[in-house]
Amino acid sequence: MLEKIDLTKKISKEEFKELYPELQERLYTVQKLSWDARIPVVILFEGWDAAGKGTSIQELTEPLDPRGFKLYPIRAARTYEKAHPWLWRFWAKLPARGEWAIFDRSWYGRVLVERVENIIPEVEWRRGYRDIVDFERTIADDGHLIIKFFLHISQKEQKLRFKKLIQDPLTSWHVSPEDWEHHRMYSDWFLAYEEMFERTESEWGPWTIIEATDRRHTRVKIAQTIIKALEERLDLAA
């Protein structure tokens, strides 16, 4: 799937200036309408290191009412969390009726980092696909709208971004030895992502792959996808 993605897609500065302010207004509107309609919304971001997940989330939330969403940056499970079933910590973060929960990385770590870095046995991460599909189906049946983004860049683009970050003392801390190790293992991550799409794509939890080379294109496609999904749920689509 990923090899067929056109990573050259971009939006001109002029087109972006014309499009994005209206998209920001519509984001605020659909957030308010989803609050009024008591629709819980789950938005998750996965993708390559340096693909722009954090920046995209920051820009997405800029026009939103902060009272209506919660942001969860997901890291490795803590000791007390490991004492529970592995999805427990994500159940605890699901949004209330009308709220949005935005995940910077998510439960997909089970079949990504825990797989690629051999953190858990193969039988466990393979069982994770079934657990994830069942989890998403359950919350979708309960009324949650699930929007899943994967930010895609090439290995060459990733290397360029790492080098740019390192050159600036204010951003060099973003790039760790672990990030470079992930970069060297690009093909292993590529296979893990491909299987993730194959096994977890569903009508209730579809993936949207974002061509993330051009940041303006990234911002516009994310906003358009969220607006479209919510307008369809609210039966507002033109």
- CA 26, CA 29: separation in Å to the nearest integer? 5
- Tell me, yes or no, whether 218 lies in a domain: yes
pLDDT band at 237 (very low <50, low <70, confident <90, very high): low
- CA 40, CA 153: separation in Å to the nearest integer? 30
Structure tokens at 27: 């984001």
- Tell me, yes or no, whether 137 lies in a domain: yes
Q: Is the pLDDT of residue 238 over 60?
A: no
- Tell me, yes or no, whether 71 lies in a domain: yes
* Residue 31 identity: Q
* Residue 230 identity: L
Q: What is the mean pLDDT of residues 194-212?
A: 98
- Tell me, yes or no, whether 238 lies in a domain: no
Contact 43, 104 (CB under 8 A): no
CATH number of 93's domain: 3.40.50.300
Count other Cβ atoms within 10 Å, centred on residue 21: 11
Tens digit of pLDDT for each residue in 126-152?
999 999 999 999 999 999 999 999 999
- Tell me, yes or no, whether 115 lies in a domain: yes
Tens digit of pLDDT for each residue in 30-79?
999 999 999 999 999 999 999 999 999 999 999 999 999 999 999 999 99
What is residue 28's predicted lDDT score, i.e. its pLDDT? Answer: 98
Q: What is the mean pLDDT of residues 186-195?
A: 97
The number of folded domains in the chain is: 1
- Tell me, yes or no, whether 237 lies in a domain: no
- CA 231, CA 224: separation in Å to the nearest integer? 10
- CA 93, CA 150: separation in Å to the nearest integer? 20
Contact 217, 11 (CB under 8 A): yes
What domain range includes position 9? Answer: 2-232
Can you list the positions of beta strands (E) in 122-212? 145-152, 207-211
Q: Is the pLDDT of residue 157 over 60?
A: yes
| DSSP of 171-185 | TGGG--HHHHHHHHT
Q: Which of 39, 55, 3 has its CA nearest to residue 215?
A: 55
